[in-house]
Structure 1
Amino acid sequence: MGELWNELASNRVITEKLPEATLETLQMVGLSALITLVVGLPLGLLLRSLSADGLLPHRTAASVLGFVVNVLRSLPFIILALAIIPVTRAIVGTSLGWEAAVVPLSIGTIPFFARLVETAVRDVAPGKVEAARVMGSTTPKILRAVLVREALPSIVSAFTVTVITLIGFSAMVGAIGGGGLGFLAITYGFQRFDPPVLYTSIVVIVALVTVVQLVGDLVARRLDHR
């Protein structure tokens, strides 16, 4: 164990670039998660509201929106990231670095999270929605005070899964210059034949996923009063 530690401590890539790569991963995942939450939550509620048994049933709008969400969700992430490089350049000014990676990460996970939100609010007992309607609650109030409130533990669990997915996607985007731990593992660990860098990057990624899962499970349990 001492020899392994000495080897890692003497590796300049690990000591100098690993902290920077970890920070880049946290930044790209954090910002992408925030954008996904802000856009994906209302999108999921809209998908549920437009369905045949929703608050605002509209067959045509539901079909069109559902089709767009399904198309974006079905595309393999690495292909999506490559396909929207012109969009990324137009928004960020470059297709390289963690800032640029936020664009495909957000676009790739918003429809995924929206479907999870739709499923979560669909499980809310219809009787609670009907009771709110009888009491004269408006549609926005029903969405906020009934659907979101009742489904909050499930939404938190869905968001936890989404953040973990983002961490995995952030490693993939490193293959096309997105920065972060994925870029470090591929460029320095794999392409430059430096196994300690590769495996250390993997360990850090696994640690991040574990922390996110533990925190997400804790918050979901605290919110679940059933």
Structure 2
Amino acid sequence: MPLIPYDHLLQAFWETVTMTAVSGAISFVLGLPLGLVLLNTAPGGLWAHASLNRGLGAIVNAFRSLPFIILLVALIPLTRLIVGTSIGTAAAIVPLSIAAIPYYARVAEVSLREVDRGLVEAVRAMGGSQLTVMREVLIPEALPSLVSGFTVTLVLLIGASAMAGAVGAGGLGDLAIRYGYQRFNTPVMVAVIVVLILLVAAIQAGGDRLARRVDHR
């Protein structure tokens, strides 16, 4: 058997990409609206609601404060309920998504808060609805920062997916543990590290390029 099982390495690579892509998409689709709610229920927001803002903020902070490995184990019953198993790539997507949603929600909230309030007030003064303000002002103006924040979230998910390999989630982390650590196969460990570095570099470069493209200021 070769020191580096390239077929397993390729499979593990695609498993990591799948986990990161799917959980990243879920975190964007659900995290951005949650960030909008956190922003607009805060004092001075479009529909300020202090108690709702505090409640949502507390939930978001609670999930963000948990180390991923603890969250991964704690969510095993929910994972089994949703996908029917607690191991494998599909199962890992559940805790990865739940960990990433509140993280990206806070990132989006910070990005949206940086939008010039004068633009918001100008649109509202012209009769723009709350939906119009969000669609035409908040999101477009914050888009470069939202893209950059999403890039950081994807990089975070790659690290978390590798950690999930410790409990049989598949991917590069699982390969590193089973073929590298447990079998004392240093070339496998080195190969996994190199692939992870290249994957993170590619995502960061792509995210930075996209952020520049959508920045029309």
Q: CA deviation at 1:140?
A: 1.2
Deviations 1:117-163 (A, max 9, x none): 00000000110000010111111111111000000000000000000
Deviations 1:35-87 (A, max 9, x none): 01100010001100100011110000000000000000110001000111000
Q: Which residue of 2 aligns with 1:114?
A: 105
Q: CA deviation at 1:12?
A: 6.2
1:185 paired with 2:176, answer: yes
Which amino acid is 2:97 matched to?
Answer: S
Is the CA contact 2:63–2:102 (under 8 Å) kept in the aligned structure 1? Answer: yes
Q: Which residue of 1 aligns with 2:114?
A: 123
Q: Which runs of 5+ in 2 are unaligned?
A: none
1:21 paired with 2:12, answer: yes
2:94 pairs, out of 93, 103, 106, with: 103
Q: Which runs of 5+ in 1 are unaligned?
A: 1-9
C-alpha RMSD of the superposition: 0.9
1:33 paired with 2:24, answer: yes
Cα distance in 2 between the residues matched to 1:14 and 1:48: 48
Q: Which residue of 2 aligns with 1:163?
A: 154
Seq. identity, %: 52
Cα distance in 1 between the residues matched to 2:3 and 2:20: 25
Cα distance in 2 between the residues matched to 1:169 and 1:15: 23
Q: Which residue of 2 aligns with 1:225?
A: 216
Cα distance in 2 between the residues matched to 1:95 and 1:74: 22
Is the CA contact 2:3–2:188 (under 8 Å) kept in the aligned structure 1? Answer: no
Which amino acid is 1:64 matched to?
Answer: G
Is the CA contact 2:69–2:163 (under 8 Å) kept in the aligned structure 1? Answer: yes
Which amino acid is 1:187 matched to?
Answer: R
1:204 paired with 2:195, answer: yes
| Aligned-partner SS, 1:198 | helix
Q: CA deviation at 1:14?
A: 2.3
Q: Which residue of 2 aligns with 1:69?
A: 60
2:139 pairs, out of 140, 148, 151, with: 148
Count the aligned residue pairs: 217
The runs of at least 4 aligned residues of structure 1 exceeding 6 Å deviation read none
TM-score by length of 2: 0.98
Cα distance in 2 between the residues matched to 1:196 and 1:13: 6
| Aligned-partner SS, 2:5 | helix
